[in-house]
Amino acid sequence: MPRTNNILLKYIVFLLFFTVVFPAAAANTLNSVRIWAAPDSTRVVFDLATKPQYDSFTLKNPERLVIDLSDTRGAKSVLEKLSHNSKVVKRIRFSSPPAKGTLRLVVDLNQPAKANMFSLPPTGPYGDRLVVDFELGGTSSIAREVDNRAADDRDVVIAVDAGHGGDDPGSIGPSGTYEKMVALQIANRVAAKLNTVPGIKAVRIRAGDYFVELNRRSELAREAKADLLVSIHADAFTSPQPRGSSVWVLSNRRANSEMGRLLEQSEKVSDLLGGVGEIVQNTDNEQYLMRTLIDMSMDNSRSTGYRVASNILNDLGKVTRLHKKNPEYASLAVLKAPDIPSLLVETGFISNPAEEKLLKSPTHQEQLATAIAQGIRQYFESYPPEGTLLAKRGNIKHKVASGESLSIIAQRYQVSVAAIKKANNLKSDVVRIGQQLIIPRA
């Protein structure tokens, strides 16, 4: 046999040997598993080397979800010491595969839950992922926080939303500070301060390190019958120079600044990092009437949002630098609830080294939270919604009696002379007997 043929034969035998003895490696690898627990849901994230090919089914008694990853391998160490505080997920384990090369995972559940499964492409710090969202039925924990008192005796409800969370870290500062953690810390402080005000109840949209889908944030605020939704964030830019706080309200047009365009783009990235937005279809036959009502509601919401935003900026300007002195406009999902006045507060630029340091400071966070809460409180004390405790404690009417002066009346009600003059459009301190005065709240 010629030498060339011998070499070729040996090469073929060599390939066959390694094909049989050492089968081809799986096309995909399960690299890690992460669990993000929320009060009413749990997200399980499977990090993979490439896009997953998967199938799944559920089993009962006990409740569990079975996931088959085709042509995938995964080491036992991936599931070892997987800690979490989920009410839904009991544990995750490997099971016997239905076919060679398939990796079977079983998610044992503590209780029945709706499972929504989807894959996400590589984005930011993450590669390919398979995501499973487990949702509990019934009333949300946020809605249960609100006291269902009589219609004419209710609290003003403020939904405080901490931006990003879970899979979505938001912007990352030069020293590695995550926006999601700064936003959560400041939002918690804002909620705590609002809850000290009689007649105001704050509920937190995100109370821990987990992601809430952007449209779901407005839904949760609606379930809580919120009078305002305020979303807390930390800004970022492509260079480290910009700094200062800003407040954003909804625009139906394109953003009116480069910063606004970047903000809108970062929202799209958040959607990819943390989840996939839902498509809502309006099937109402009376679409024209519905559109008109929605537009009217949205106009009122935008007007209220702008006035609250102006109040907050005024108070923020006393404790920190402002990036813009007036509210700015952008088209963002978290602001788009037509029936809920909404605004987004950028507490500072996490991309600026000096401001990143400030944003991590408990003292500075406290100052920011005080300013935000004060701006909200001032608005709702001045314009309390009908049927609320704040409206019930409305302005007092006083009829001027003989011997009374403006200073005596002010002292009686423990308000300033200037406040009474402003509430009644008085040009001087002179009042007459029998004159009706509005006494503003202290």
- Residues 355-371: tens digit of each pLDDT: 999 999 999 999 999 99
Is the model's pLDDT at 407 over the cut of 50?
yes
Q: What is the pLDDT of residue 128?
A: 95
Lowest mean pLDDT among 85-89, 305-309, 410-414: 410-414
Q: Would you list the domain boundaries of the chain?
A: 28-135, 142-276+288-382, 395-439
Is the model's pLDDT at 252 over the cut of 60?
yes
Q: What is the pLDDT of residue 2?
A: 53
Q: What is the pLDDT of residue 403?
A: 86
Is the model's pLDDT at 178 over the cut of 80?
yes
Superfamily of 395-439 according to CATH: LysM domain (3.10.350.10)
170 alpha carbon, distance to own chain's centre: 11
Q: What is the pLDDT of residue 5?
A: 53
Is the model's pLDDT at 61 over the cut of 50?
yes
Of 147, 141, 191, 187, nearest to 389 (Cα)? 147
Q: What is d(CA 52, CA 121) in angstroms, rounded to the nearest whole number?
A: 10
Structure tokens of 208? 């821990």
Q: What is d(CA 130, CA 117) in angstroms, rounded to the nearest whole number?
A: 7
Are 195 and 201 in contact by the 8 Å Cβ rule? The answer is yes
pLDDT class of 415 with cuts at 50, 70, 90? confident
Is the model's pLDDT at 297 over the cut of 60?
no
Q: What is the pLDDT of residue 280?
A: 35
Q: What is d(CA 59, CA 149) in angstroms, rounded to the nearest whole number?
A: 41
Q: What is the per-residue pLDDT across 94-109, written as a single tens digit (0 to 9) for each?
A: 999 999 999 999 999 9
Domain 142-276+288-382 sits in CATH 3.40.50.720:
no
pLDDT class of 81 with cuts at 50, 70, 90? confident
Amino acid at site 99: A
Residue with tokens 């394109």: 254
Q: What is the pLDDT of residue 18?
A: 46
Number of neighbouring beta carbons within 10 Å of residue 29: 17
215-224, 352-361, 402-411 — most confident range: 352-361
Number of neighbouring beta carbons within 10 Å of residue 45: 21
Q: What is d(CA 257, CA 271) in angstroms, rounded to the nearest whole number?
A: 22
Structure tokens of 343? 């605004």
Q: What is the pLDDT of residue 383?
A: 84
Please state, rounded to an integer, the average pLDDT across all residues of the chain: 84
- Average pLDDT for residues 238-248, to the nearest whole number? 93
Q: What is the pLDDT of residue 21?
A: 43
Is the model's pLDDT at 215 over the cut of 90?
no
Tell me which CATH code domain 28-135 carries.
2.60.40.3500
> Are the folds of 28-135 and 142-276+288-382 the same?
no
